[in-house]
Amino acid sequence: MADSTADLLFEIGVEEIPAPAVLPALGQLERMLVKALDEARLAHGEARTCGTPRRLAIIIRDVVLRQPDVEQEVKGPPAAAAFDADGNPTRAAEGFAAGRGLSVDALEVRATDRGDYVFATVAEPGRAAVEVLPEILRDAATSLTFPKTMRWGSSDFRFARPIRWIVALLGGDVVPVEIAGLHSDRLTWGHRFLSEGPVTLADPSQYLDALEAAYVIADHKRRREMIATGARAAAEQAGGRVRLDADLLDEVNFMVEYPTALVGHFDSRYLELPDDVIVTVMSGHQRYFAVENPDGTLQPLFVAIRNGDEQGLDLVRQGNERVIEPRLADAEFYLTEDMRTPLHDRVEDLKRVTYIEGMGSLYDKTQRLEGLVHWLCGRVAQVEQRHEDNAARAATLSKCDLTTTMIGDTKLAKLQGRVGAEYARRSGEPEEVALAIAEQYRPLAAADHPPTTTPGRLIALADKMDHLAACFRLGMRPTGSADPHALRRSAAGIVRIILDARWRIDMPAFIRAALDALPEVGDEDAIEPDQAAAQLEEFLAARLQAELETYAVGYDLARAVLAAPCPDLLDAFDRALALRAIRGSDADFEAVVIAAERTANIVRGPKAEEKLALDAEALTEPEEKALHEAYTAAAARLERALADDAVRDYQAAWQALAELRDPIDAFFDAVLVMAEDDAVRRNRLALVAAVDDLFLRLLDVQQIVIEGEAD
- The residues facing 292 across adjacent strands are 241, 298
Are 535 and 434 part of one and the same domain?
A: yes
2 has a pLDDT exceeding 60: no
Burial class (CB in 10 A: 0-12, 13-18, 19+), 104: middle
Are 300 and 168 part of one and the same domain?
A: no
Mean pLDDT (whole number) for 247-255: 96
Does residue 300 have a cis bond before it (omega within 30 degrees)?
no
pLDDT at position 100 is 84
1 has a pLDDT exceeding 50: no
Are 95 and 115 part of one and the same domain?
A: yes
CATH number of the domain to which 675 belongs: 1.10.730
What number of residues does the chain have? 711
DSSP classification of residue 524: T
pLDDT at position 177 is 97
Which of 162, 305, 155 lies closest to 227, judged by CA?
A: 305
**Cα(351)–Cα(55) distance, integer angstroms:** 50
Which of 573, 682, 639, 509 lies closest to 564, judged by CA?
A: 573
Domain boundary among 282, 311, 338: 338
710 has a pLDDT exceeding 60: no
463's CB contacts (< 8 A; 6+ apart) are 369, 398, 440, 441
Residue 432 domain flag:
yes
pLDDT at position 521 is 86
- The residues facing 319 across adjacent strands are none
Are 82 and 181 part of one and the same domain?
A: no
Asked whether the CA dihedral 674, 677, 680, 683 is positive or negative, the reply is: positive
608 has a pLDDT exceeding 90: no
Q: Which domain, by its residues, includes 525? A: 343-550
DSSP classification of residue 193: T
Mean pLDDT (whole number) for 679-694: 94
Are 230 and 280 part of one and the same domain?
A: yes
Are 302 and 389 part of one and the same domain?
A: no
pLDDT at position 284 is 87
Backbone angle region of 449, left / alpha / beta, with phi > 0 → left and psi within -120 to 50 → alpha: beta
Residue 555 domain flag:
no
Mean pLDDT (whole number) for 289-305: 96
711 has a pLDDT exceeding 80: no
400 has a pLDDT exceeding 70: yes
Mean pLDDT (whole number) for 417-441: 97
Q: How confident is the model over 446-502, as pLDDT tens digits? A: 889 999 999 999 999 999 999 999 999 999 988 877 888 999 999 999 999 999 999
pLDDT at position 542 is 94
444's CB contacts (< 8 A; 6+ apart) are 489
Q: How confident is the model over 319-341, as pLDDT tens digits? A: 999 999 999 999 999 999 999 99
Segment (H or E) for 707: none
CATH number of the domain to which 349 belongs: 1.10.3210
Domain boundary among 206, 230, 258: 206
DSSP per position, 25-74: HHHHHHHHHHHHHHHTT-----EEEEEETTEEEEEEEEEESBPPPEEEEE
Domain boundary among 338, 373, 391: 338
Residue 412 domain flag:
yes
pLDDT at position 209 is 97
CATH number of the domain to which 167 belongs: 3.30.70.260
Contact 412, 284 (CB under 8 A): yes
Residue 251 domain flag:
yes
**Cα(168)–Cα(183) distance, integer angstroms:** 9
DSSP classification of residue 160: S
Average pLDDT, the chain: 94
Residue 141 domain flag:
yes
**How far is C-alpha 213 from the geometric centre of its chain's CA atoms?**
40
Residue 212 domain flag:
no
Contact 689, 633 (CB under 8 A): no
Q: Which of 395-399, 439-443, 562-566 has the lowest mean pLDDT?
A: 562-566
118's CB contacts (< 8 A; 6+ apart) are 75, 76, 77, 78, 79, 82, 93, 96, 107, 108, 109
Q: Which of 233-247, 507-521, 597-611, 622-636 has the lowest mean pLDDT?
A: 597-611
Burial 238-265 (b: 16+ CB within 10 A, else e): bebbbbeeeebbbbbbbbbbbbbbbbbb
Mean pLDDT (whole number) for 257-278: 96
DSSP per position, 565-610: --SBHHHHHHHHHHHHHHHHH-TTHHHHHHHHHHHHHHHHHHHHHS
Are 169 and 60 part of one and the same domain?
A: yes
pLDDT at position 525 is 79
Residue 353 domain flag:
yes
Contact 27, 222 (CB under 8 A): no
**Cα(50)–Cα(222) distance, integer angstroms:** 10
Are 193 and 86 part of one and the same domain?
A: no
Are 16 and 77 part of one and the same domain?
A: no
Are 290 and 245 part of one and the same domain?
A: yes
**Cα(401)–Cα(408) distance, integer angstroms:** 9
Are 489 and 394 part of one and the same domain?
A: yes
Residue 560 domain flag:
no
DSSP classification of residue 479: B
Structural domain count, the chain: 5
Mean pLDDT (whole number) for 216-228: 98
Torsion of CA 492, 495, 496, 500, to 10 degrees: 180
| Helix intervals (H) in 281-342 | 286, 313-338
**Cα(542)–Cα(592) distance, integer angstroms:** 27
Mean pLDDT (whole number) for 597-606: 92
Segment (H or E) for 163: strand 163-170
Are 171 and 152 part of one and the same domain?
A: yes
529 has a pLDDT exceeding 50: yes
- Side-chain half-sphere exposure of 501, counting CA atoms within 13 A: 25
